Structure 1
Amino acid sequence: MARTVTAHLFHAVNGVTEAPDQWQFDAFGPEEMELMGSAIGSVTDVVIGRRLWEEWSQYWPQAQEGDPFAAFINPVPKHVVSTTLGDDLPWNSTRIEGDPAAYVRELASGDGGGISVVGGVETVRGLFLAGVVDELTLTTHPVIGAGRRLFDDSVPVTRLRLLDATPTSAGNVIVRYALRD
């Protein structure tokens, strides 16, 4: 049985997904916490882009004890999309060699729990458009952000299928999509 590959990004109304810590502010309530907990509960592997891996590998290993995301992200195997990093990576990480979409497809065909593509923008975009990501969750915050958008003008018209949409008490909307068949 194939493993499920998911991605979840925070999203501004104008489509910005880069640096949500700069614009999501206090719009994170109980529904968002519940979603995060259930999203990572079955994940046994993480796929991450090089820039985000470099940032997180400096921060999360030193995060406060008891932080639920640190308890998840530090021990989980991380598969890093990079053509510039070496092969001997710290933080329980392996560099993806070759085509990331082929690598993740092979990973998904093996044993284990869910696979989460945690970022960055190019990694999520590329794997989603390649049909590797089964479900894309966007938590849209009621803000106009500055930065890169997940789907910029380089992406052709692509039809999506709505799986679920839930407004939250913090004013966000959590939306799950898949590529349309």
Structure 2
Amino acid sequence: MRKLTFGMNLSLDGYIAAPGDDLGWGVPSEELFQWWSDRVGATGLALYGRKLWETMSSHWPTAAQQPGATPAEVEFARRWHDMPKVVFSSTLSTVDWNTRLVTGDAIAEITRLKAEDGGPIDIGGAALAAAAMRAGLIDEYVLATAPVLVGGGTPFFPALDHRVNLSLIETRTFTGGVVLTRYETRR
């Protein structure tokens, strides 16, 4: 069975986006950006909700051609483009860049994908990840916690109707004070 991981940058008060979908507070250091890039390079499949897909697909397909693109950005753009992706949306009609669209039952499809052979799966997007959390499908949580309080917005963790016990498997501090923590779900 494939491992499903939910990981994002988040504020110290637990938000992945500030009010108005503001992400400006979460610009990663070069060191953290490289960590995320290496993670993308090792991911067998990425699952996106519509909003995160629109954010990523509006930038990364052409990022390598932008004036001033750093070698790290060029590398991330290539890795992102090459990585197989699935987008879950009831409103989109097409997707590009090594991506497949799923308009039906997300939980059934994620369960099916986890049962397949292949590399690890990353899931992104607050609503999609929340549905997977509630269904008990997340195997690992990766939190890159920035030293900032944004006061509201889109939470990393949704309200759950049951407890989820976790085991800490890694901590690491990055330049700028971002603390990475990784937890496995105890089953």
TM-score by length of 2: 0.81
Give 5+ residue unaligned stretches, structure 2.
66-70
Structure 1 stretch displaced more, 157-166 or 63-72? 157-166
Contact 1:82 1:96 in 2 (8 A): yes
Kindly tell me: are residues 180 and 16 of structure 1, through their superposed partners in 2, closer, same or farther at Cα, counting changes over 3 Å? same
Give 5+ residue unaligned stretches, structure 1.
none
Kindly tell me: are residues 33 and 58 of structure 1, through their superposed partners in 2, closer, same or farther at Cα, counting changes over 3 Å? closer
Question: Hey, what's the Cα distance between the residues in 1 that align with 2:24 and 2:165?
Answer: 28
Alignment-mate amino acid for residue 63 of structure 1: A
Question: Hey, what's the Cα distance between the residues in 1 that align with 2:22 and 2:118?
Answer: 30
Structure 1 stretch displaced more, 169-178 or 138-147? 169-178
CA deviations 1:104-153 (Å, max 9, x no partner) are 22112223222111x2111122213322221110000100124211224x
Question: Hey, what's the Cα distance between the residues in 1 that align with 2:169 and 2:133?
Answer: 15
% identity of equivalent residues: 29
Q: Which has the higher helix share?
A: 2
Q: Deviation of residue 180 (structure 1)? A: 3.5
Q: Tell me the matched-pair count.
A: 175
Q: How does 1:86-101 map to 2 (within 5 A)?
A: 86=93, 88-101=94-107
Kindly tell me: are residues 141 and 157 of structure 1, through their superposed partners in 2, closer, same or farther at Cα, counting changes over 3 Å? farther
Kindly tell me: are residues 37 and 46 of structure 1, through their superposed partners in 2, closer, same or farther at Cα, counting changes over 3 Å? same
User: Which residue matches 1:133?
Assistant: 138
TM-score by length of 1: 0.83
